[in-house]
Amino acid sequence: MDVVFSVAVFALVFVTLTVALTLRREAATERESRASRLSSATEPRIDDSIIRKRALMLSASHWASGLWVVRTLEENLLQAGLYLGVVQFLLWSAIFAAGGLGAGMLVWKDPAYAALTAIGAGLLPWSYVRIRRRRRVEAFMKQLPLALDVIKSSLEAGHMLQRALQVLVGEFEAPLGTEFRIVLEQTRIGVPLAKALADLADRVPQNDFRLLVVAVKIQSEVGTSLAPIIGRLAELVRARDRLHQQVRSFSAQLRMGGFVVALLPIFVLTIFGFSEPGYTKMLFYDPAGVILLKVAIACDVSAFFIVRQLMKLKY
């Protein structure tokens, strides 16, 4: 047990020092490159070692980008508005896992519980990205109907679509204003508007917004009137939002029931632990009781996620 604790502390210190030294080295390299560019009056020379390192990094990133997990993680980070690299995110997950392992050994004095604590701590960054992504997409979709009304009014007044998007950037806060600002910046460097909106649809994975992308693409190819289509799309988004709220209200009792049933064993065990300690003593001090407690925790957590998955209604 002492060996496992020592390994956990060593892993935590090693990962922390590695991240700190990496960030410090990158900052020093950036400062040196800026100083050399400012002090040099002639055309800067390109170091062959930098080219080789860059080629190796590109080949490694190209190989890693082919993995499904890496692609999904990159998409989730982008959709959550976190502009971090996959390597940095995985390093932070490793730091949390190592800290959870050390804390688990201090609190539980059991390698199995410490491993579960490490897994839970390592999944905290992933949970944060998922929650931030969901909230950001929901905030975008709440702003979308009013934004579509603004675009429709601008088009009916005779303005171009890009001018309507500029109005959105000036009138709306994040995340909608920020995302459309990125679209306008892409169009200024030569990216077609339909392609920039398609990239935005990848950052906001909602079918309602993809309809806007399809409408803009059809309008750019065929030349139809875009204002009536956007007006109809605004009505459709509002109708789907009302349906979503109704579904959540109808399923609220079922979701709350699953949450209560999952927490009921913990509540009962806590009550008996304070009122009748003899009833629960076997679970914590007897080897067979410890095994039963571990199995019960695993079953309760599995049942919670199963019920939560069953309560997700697709419509």
Q: Where are the domains of the chain?
A: 2-24+52-122, 136-248, 251-310
Residue 186: closest CA among 173, 169, 170 = 169
Cβ atoms of residues 77 and 125 within 8 Å: no
Distance CA 314, CA 244 (A): 10
Predicted local distance difference test score (pLDDT) of residue 249 = 86
What is the rounded distance in angstroms from the CA atom of residue 89 to the CA atom of residue 91? Answer: 5
Please give the chain's pLDDT, 315 residues, in tens: 454 445 454 455 455 555 444 545 544 444 444 444 434 333 334 344 444 444 444 444 444 445 677 788 888 888 888 888 888 898 999 999 999 998 888 887 878 788 888 998 999 999 999 999 999 999 999 999 999 999 999 999 888 888 999 998 988 988 999 999 999 999 999 998 889 998 999 889 888 888 888 888 888 777 778 889 899 999 998 998 898 888 888 888 888 888 888 888 889 888 988 888 888 888 888 888 888 888 888 888 888 888 878 777 766
The tokens of 160 are what?
């171009």
Secondary structure (DSSP) of 155-178: HHTT--HHHHHHHHHHH--TTHHH
pLDDT at 35: 46
Alpha carbon distance 196, 258 (integer Å): 42
CB 117 within 8 A of CB 4: no
φ, ψ of residue 110 in degrees (nearest 5): -140, 125
136-248 carries CATH number 3.40.50.720:
no
Q: How much is the pLDDT for 99?
A: 92
Instruction: Kindly state the tokens that stand for 281.
Output: 């003593």
